Chains A and B, each alone.
Chain A
Amino acid sequence: MFPEADEQGMPVMDLDSQKYIKIWQGPNHPGVTGNMSLELTISGDEIMHAKTHVGYLHRGFEKLFERRRYIQCFPTCIRMCVPEPDINEYNLARGTELLAGIDVPPMADWIRMLVLEMARLQVLLRMVPGQAGTIGLGLGAQWGLYYRELILDRFEELTGGRIYHMYILPGGVRGLLPDGFKDRLEDNLKKVESFMKDIDRLIYSNAVFKKRTKGIGIIPNDWIEPYGITGPVARAAGYQTDIRLDYPYLFYNQLEFDYNLEHESDVFARFRVRRKDVDTTVDLLRQIMAKMPDKGDFKAETPNVLHWKVPKGETIVRCESSRGEYTFYMVADGSMYPRRINLRGPSYTHAVAVLEKLLINANISDVSPIMVSLATCPPEIER
């Protein structure tokens, strides 16, 4: 029954032999991932071969940056990752500051940290309940969207935008927190916490959910470094990685938190790591609000942004997104336009190399839980 291999070790599957069928999953997507398609060759309901096709959202950002000044890059770059735009702003701002040698006032760094954690919470509130949708339990996702709206309200109050904020600029942020902001955020956090208790009962102790997600999509420990796996997926395999702890940026070294580890490395373990991440994020938000100063300078002096020449150099900046390590590589050539800005997100390997390998011999109904557990996000593969 198993396909024979040719001399390169690739399986030979003759579609005309009527043993194999080729089907496409996508480019429409199951729930919370983005538009990408999987070309699956199946035999019965077992997957024999999988190939990822991306490019449905390719906009050529890296080409567009060649024609944009540094400040013009900001409104463009945040559209690179739609669910969690703020990490793009932060990385680009931080990279520009490093290249240009600008020091950021501490107040701005605290606010940036608050914004990044709020963005993470917002994503997780969509991810964590939404992942049960992949096996047909859509109720949690509906609830989750309501609680996500609460966080979006806070964003709207702080920055004026629901999804795209453009709040972090090189040199600092655009403003201070409004009066009473912390109280209202604390209110929302309480609601989120009680909602998470519901989610625990609805999803994590649901027998069907457990049965469907335990023991599938196991990533062995020795794949992690050769495949470049990061973030929650690596942590679910017991691999200690979290950019916030390993390469502390902003003031993460002043906060108390730890790696959220699991060891089974199956789909359920990855979902558990995300669930623990919610608690960590809520806790971090509280710590940030308690520790941050009330007033202070929130923007450093920068040159006139329309004539800003950034000196020659290159650097990499990384931060921890909800999906894993998110890295920018920036090259400046001394002109007003960046020479090259390259983004490498976690999905770059998760959605292509890892997913193609993981799907082999999986059942066809397990494709979407596996895909969602890897948190594939095509916009950051194709930019």
Chain B
Amino acid sequence: MNELIDHIKARFPIYDVIESQPGQIFVSLEASKLIPMITSLKTNHGFTVLVIFTAVDWIEDDKFQITYVLNNPKEKQDLGIRVFIHRDDATMESIHHLWKHAATFQRELKEMFGIDFPGSPGVDDPFLLEGWDNIPPMRRDFDTKKYSEETYFPRPGRETNDPATFMKQMLYPDD
């Protein structure tokens, strides 16, 4: 695995290399270098399976992290690649030509995070939601509790407690 990382380092500007488990490495990369790197990994290094393709919202830094986890079934290695893009004009290159099911992931990311993948087949079709007219729900500034309370008639009398304070009152009422 380390050889591979050295090899990639020589050709692509990767940083933040972290080994989370044996045989599982996460690296960060500039968004513009992603397609060349993934293509090279797929064709030359045996990373032929796309396991995970998802996004994380780092709203504090005003960024989306898109994670691609590739798997090498022969050597039993996983390589996670993170790229960061801006939240405002969230656009990323599509990888539907490399994996057939990537288009599904991209459709979901478009709907849930509002990240656009120009050129991906059917990326604008609704996937899970029907008639959604709010900001994409997985963005962190979308408040699901508020939305639910406004839309879905909460039953009066249903109590919600903060678990930490509630348990403290139950267990140590005198403190």
Contacts and interface: CB of A to CB of B under 8 A. Distances in A.
A102 interface: no
Interface stretch (A139-147, A338-346, A366-374): A338-346
Contact of B101 (A69, A316, A318, A352): A352
Given A63-B137, A315-B21, A58 B128 contact: yes
A136 interface: no
A314 B128 CA distance: 26
Contacts of A354: 101
B100 A227 contact: yes
B69 A329 contact: yes
Classify chain B: how many residues form its interface, as a range.
35 or more
A92 to B, nearest CB: 15
Could you say which of B21, B100, B137 has the most chain A C-beta atoms within 10 Å of its C-beta? Answer: B100
B15 interface: no
Interface in B93-127: 99-101, 103-105, 121, 126-127
A60 B167 contact: no
Contacts of A55: 126-130
A331 interface: yes
A276 interface: no
Interface of B is mostly: mixed
A336 B101 CA distance: 34
Nearest to B103: A353
A228 B129 contact: no
Could you say which of A225, A307, A313, A354 has the most chain B C-beta atoms within 10 Å of its C-beta? Answer: A225
B73 A353 contact: no
B144 interface: yes
B20 A314 contact: yes
A62 to B, nearest CB: 6
A98 B56 contact: no
B52 A344 contact: yes
B51 interface: yes
A331 B67 CA distance: 11
Contacts of B21: 98, 315
A226 B52 contact: no
B72 to A, nearest CB: 11
B163 A329 contact: no
A306 B164 contact: yes
A331 B82 CA distance: 12
Nearest to A313: B20
Interface residues of A, number: 43
A216 B118 CA distance: 35
Contacts of A327: 51-52
Given A63-B137, A316-B24, A228 B51 contact: yes
Contacts of A340: 54, 56-57
A247 interface: yes
A93 B69 CA distance: 21
Contacts of B155: none
A382 interface: yes
A351 to B, nearest CB: 9
Contact of A58 (B104, B129, B167): B129
B168 to A, nearest CB: 8
A63 B163 contact: no
Nearest to B111: A55
Contact of A226 (B20, B69, B99, B126): B99
Interface of A: 8, 54-55, 58, 60, 62-64, 66-67, 69, 72, 98, 223, 225-228, 241, 246-247, 306-307, 313-316, 318, 325, 327, 329, 331, 339-340, 342, 344, 348-349, 352-354, 357, 382
Given A64-B144, A306-B164, A307-B164, 5 more contacts: A60-B137, A247-B23, A325-B51, A340-B54, A352-B104
21 contacts: A55-B129, A60-B137, A62-B138, A66-B140, A98-B21, A223-B100, A226-B99, A228-B99, A246-B76, A306-B167, A313-B20, A315-B24, A316-B24, A331-B56, A340-B56, A340-B57, A348-B104, A352-B104, A353-B101, A353-B103, A357-B100
